[in-house]
Amino acid sequence: MEEKVMKKKRIFSGIQPSGELTLGSYMGAIKNWVDLQDAYECLYCIVDMHAITVRQDPATLRRRSVSQLAQYIACGLDPKKNIMFIQSHVPQHAELSWVLGCYTQFGELSRMTQFKAKSQQHADNITAGLFTYPVLMAADILLYQTDLVPVGEDQRQHVELCRDIAQRFNGLYSDTFTLPEAFIPKMGARVMSLGNPESKMSKSDPDGCVFLMDSPEDIMRKFKRAVTDCETAVKFDKVNKAGISNLLTIYCAATGKTMQQAEEEFAGQGYGVFKPAVGEAVVELLRPIRKESQRIMQDKAYLEGVYKEGADHARYLATKTLSKVYRKVGFVAK
């Protein structure tokens, strides 16, 4: 008797090309994606449609979208194992977003904490797109019958809304969408800003942020200037020593050492030795990624082939879901 082949669970995730990829993006997300690519069916998207909720320079957005794909591959994501594509190349994202918006309550969107935060950051540009961003995110996920969505805690609320929308639609029209679950990998390092260790490392804070494509000199400069405290002990204590705890987290993620091993290594040595050592560990971690990214960026034909093939595959999956949705809401078939 033949054994039944277990269907792999499907994962969807994406990062905006609204800035360069950061050390936080790599340690908190992309590094984990690499570890997931054999056990799951993975779709990794460059979400350029989400990026334009804030004004972008068109030429820069195009460059960053392609550069981000090159960096995904350089980080270890295999185009043969993952479906990697640019969001705007799959129009079904926008089409499903409109339908789902008609099944989402105004009150639900107004309660989204990220909308409130971004409205304060961009008070002069509070667009309808910023408000309905979570609906497009729900479309991204539901379009592919996604089982798991790797997210940080700050995005968990959006996944919960996505589930609510899916359940509402399924309740009206019978089972249409897989109900996704937020998936927070255990090993994802939460990397904080080097300038303000109370805040997450963000591309909007260049001085407190290390970018994957930073030169070794820039990386060392940023770590030497990283905020610490007035003590000298290299010890993990998130409450009283947030800066040092962040640097220890980064060092352990970069070297594979445990927190105890790191604390013992720098016992009695002080911050003047510790901070450059963290910088050097990050330089060596990112050196092959930067080099491979630069090499891949020179091969335009290869990159174009990857994102076109990825979009073709994604459109095939997306069309199956969208056709089902259109039929259930009563649209006339083409």
Residue 127, amino acid: T
Q: What is the 3-state secondary structure (H, E, C) of the chain?
A: CCCCCCCCCEEEEEECCCCCCEHHHHHHHHHHHHHHCCCCEEEEEECHHHHCCCCCCHHHHHHHHHHHHHHHHHCCCCCCCEEEEEHHHCCHHHHHHHHHHCCCCHHHHHCCHHHHHHHHHCCCCCCHHHHHHHHHHHHHHHCCCCCEEECCHHHHHHHHHHHHHHHHHHHHHCCCCCCCEEECCCCCCCCECCCCCCCECCCCCHHHCCECCCCHHHHHHHHHCCCCCCCCCCCCECCCEHHHHHHHHHHHHHHCCCHHHHHHHCCCCCHHHHHHHHHHHHHHHHHHHHHHHHHHHCCHHHHHHHHHHHHHHHHHHHHHHHHHHHHHHCCCCC
CA separation for the pair 323, 278 (Å, rounded): 51
Cα 99 to the center of its chain, rounded Å:
25
Q: Is residue 193 within 8 Å of residue 186, measured between CB atoms?
A: no
Chain-centre distance for alpha carbon 17: 10
Amino acid making up residue 311? A
Residue positions annotated with a catalytic role = 118, 200, 203
